[in-house]
Chain A
Amino acid sequence: MCKIKGIGIPDLRNRTLYVPLSRHGYPRATDVIEYRLEELPLHLHDRFMVQAKTVESAPTETQREELAKASGIKGVLHLSNLGSLRFPQSFPYDFMHLIWENLIPNLVLFWSGCYKGMDNGQPYVLEPHIWQVVGATSAEATKTIPSSFGASIPDPAKDCSYFTSSMWSVWSLFITPTML
């Protein structure tokens, strides 16, 4: 976990925040113009604890909220009494939502050129006929994979919405290495 700051689209009702590494050309003032992937400002245990105490001991509720908003840390927590826990190393995010339900389906949208209409002419987009063959071959391959490896999968070029996270896992672990 790191201290990267989210930025919103200026003058838009939509309050979704994004975390691009580069903020070049962003119209508003930002603390950091460019984050380097190898040098993200990581959270460290001791500083995390100090920050939590600072937030906790803020003199007024408003100041506390401001500090919490700036750091993302809302205060001291009871679990921090346990010396066997490290912040944030002991708090992993689950793999299913991050990879099988987010990264892989998004990669598929990129490859098939369907990512929010932003892929026109991008070099990573597969030709439609190639992507259809990949899809059909994947669905065909599922017939000869024993069920103990996981769920059988539909054609990713046709029925992406039917994919569950366990199907994405079967597809990306056992089928794509030979296909893509």
Chain B
Amino acid sequence: MSRLNESGKARRTFSYMPLIPRLRVFMSNRAYATCLQYCADEHAKTCRNGMTTDIFDGLHYRLLLGERVVAGDQHLAHHYFLDHHDIALGFATDGFAPFKKRKQTVWILFVFNYNLPLDQRFQQDNILCVGIIPGPKKPWDADSFIYPLVQELLKLAVSVSAYDALSHSIFALHAYLITAFGDIPAVSMLMNMKGHNGTSPC
């Protein structure tokens, strides 16, 4: 079957909803920008050595702290999460069957904002849906759908200008993706691996 219908239009389209404009809006909103300081304020004050209460206590985040930012081939001068505005992001995807008793799935791309307090970051209003990969089957080439997100994340690693509602000034906003997760089939898809039925299943 052709990917185009009789009138020459694509049968399915991929919707992508950009991330950068939304992060900019959050920063320019006083209430939201205050919440985003959770990591820099509240967590920094309450964290204790040897105790894990959040992703910021994890080895991966702590190792990034001393490193210079790398975006593609560019080695940049600034360090990860040095500025209190810097945002830590997580990315997840999963197949979802929108119709009852049908097997067709769409794959939804989610971004999570770890700078929000623990009890808020996974609330529906704070989960950012960046894209919906149309069905009916699992995407054959997931990378081609993730492409616009990675382009935005590269820009965010370099820096994007934004307005800070707390200090009433323009600043350089950075956001870094530190995790990509899901169930085993979703993670295998994201990592471009054979998955749990392969000869190297792990």
Q: Which size bracket describes the interface of B in this complex?
A: 35 or more
Closest to A97 in B: B183
**Docked complex: B170-187 residues within 8 A CB-CB of A:** 176-184, 187
Is B180's CB under 8 angstroms from A90's CB?
A: yes
Q: How far is the CB of B39 from chain A (nearest CB, A)?
A: 15
Q: How far is the CB of B175 from chain A (nearest CB, A)?
A: 9
Interface string of A7-22 (1 = CB under 8 A from B): 0000000000101000
A74 on interface, CB distance cutoff 8 Å? yes
Known: A3-B202, A78-B143. A87 touches B191 (CB 8 A): yes
CB contacts (< 8 Å) of A70 on chain B: these are 199-200
**Docked complex: A62-93 residues within 8 A CB-CB of B:** 68-79, 81-93
Interface string of B53-83 (1 = CB under 8 A from A): 0000001100010010111100000001000
Known: A5-B200, A70-B199. A83 touches B69 (CB 8 A): yes
Is B154's CB under 8 angstroms from A82's CB?
A: yes
Is B60's CB under 8 angstroms from A89's CB?
A: yes
CB contacts (< 8 Å) of A4 on chain B: these are 200-202
Is B181's CB under 8 angstroms from A79's CB?
A: no
B33 on interface, CB distance cutoff 8 Å? no
Distance between Cα atoms of A62 and B200 in the complex (Å): 18
Is A6's CB under 8 angstroms from B157's CB?
A: no
CB contacts (< 8 Å) of B69 on chain A: these are 83-84
B150 on interface, CB distance cutoff 8 Å? yes
Is A68's CB under 8 angstroms from B201's CB?
A: no
B50 on interface, CB distance cutoff 8 Å? no
Distance between Cα atoms of A69 and B150 in the complex (Å): 27
**Docked complex: B81-121 residues within 8 A CB-CB of A:** none
Question: Which of these, B143, B178, B184, B201, contacts A85 with CB under 8 Å?
Answer: B178
Known: A90-B178, A91-B181, A91-B190. A83 touches B150 (CB 8 A): no
A153 on interface, CB distance cutoff 8 Å? no
CB contacts (< 8 Å) of A85 on chain B: these are 177-180
B25 on interface, CB distance cutoff 8 Å? no
Is B187's CB under 8 angstroms from A91's CB?
A: yes
CB contacts (< 8 Å) of B64 on chain A: these are 84
Is A5's CB under 8 angstroms from B176's CB?
A: no
Q: How far is the CB of B105 from chain A (nearest CB, A)?
A: 16
Distance between Cα atoms of A76 and B197 in the complex (Å): 20
**Docked complex: A22-81 residues within 8 A CB-CB of B:** 52, 68-79, 81
Q: How far is the CB of A87 from chain B (nearest CB, A)?
A: 7
CB contacts (< 8 Å) of B194 on chain A: these are 68-69, 72-74
CB contacts (< 8 Å) of B187 on chain A: these are 91-93
Is A81's CB under 8 angstroms from B72's CB?
A: yes
Distance between Cα atoms of A84 and B180 in the complex (Å): 11
Is A81's CB under 8 angstroms from B150's CB?
A: yes
A127 on interface, CB distance cutoff 8 Å? no
Question: Which of these, A69, A76, A79, A97, contacts B180 with CB under 8 Å?
Answer: A79
B198 on interface, CB distance cutoff 8 Å? yes
- Cross-chain pairs A/B with CB under 8 angstroms, 18 sampled: A3-B200, A4-B202, A19-B202, A69-B194, A71-B200, A72-B193, A72-B194, A72-B200, A72-B202, A73-B192, A77-B143, A78-B147, A79-B177, A83-B67, A83-B69, A84-B178, A85-B177, A94-B182
Q: A79-B180, A84-B178 are in contact. List 13 more A-B contacts (CB 8 A).
A: A1-B202, A3-B200, A19-B201, A52-B192, A73-B193, A81-B150, A82-B153, A82-B154, A82-B157, A82-B176, A83-B69, A90-B178, A91-B191
